[in-house]
A = this chain, B = another copy of it.
């Protein structure tokens, strides 16, 4: 920690410790809820003394909010990247299912944190996650509103179907999170399930009236 050859500037080092705290909390959160991990556990895992924690966060609650932010910025980046992929336009459903499973697999820890704390966390953390997810629903609604069968729908209906998609995304993410490692068969199963669910919803689009 202290024997780096290049002298670490003060703020570089601080940033690194901050990341260590976030990583420690994220790892501990995989096996128990965020609310039941202690400041001292986090500090121990991050390789610092308990009191040093306060140099970075005023409280565990603030650490939780920082984790929410980190998780969603990861997710947003992935979706932005996925939107550049041309195959999204050809087959939006299969692409979405792929992206979902891949994204969750890639940063399982963040998804697990969000899935868990969305309902089980402290008031503040729960509100933050809820807010981020609401943003997501609105963003998706904008995309959906441009699809062929939907452009004539009312705003409310589009929001509703957007919620339906996000909701199922969350549920599927939960499933992937709980999936044991090294079971590609289960993964494919979840992906196929997600695909079917989305197709079923989409099939309903063209016969929908108010």
Contact = CB atoms under 8 A, between A and B. Distances in A.
Interface string A171-210: 1001000000000000000000100110011111011100
A157 interface: yes
Interface residues on A, range: 20 to 34
Contacts of A92: none
A2 interface: no
A119 B174 contact: yes
Nearest to A34: B120
A59 to B, nearest CB: 15
A56 to B, nearest CB: 23
Given A203-B207, A208-B203, A160 B197 contact: yes
Contact of A201 (B33, B115, B121, B200): B200
A33 B115 CA distance: 14
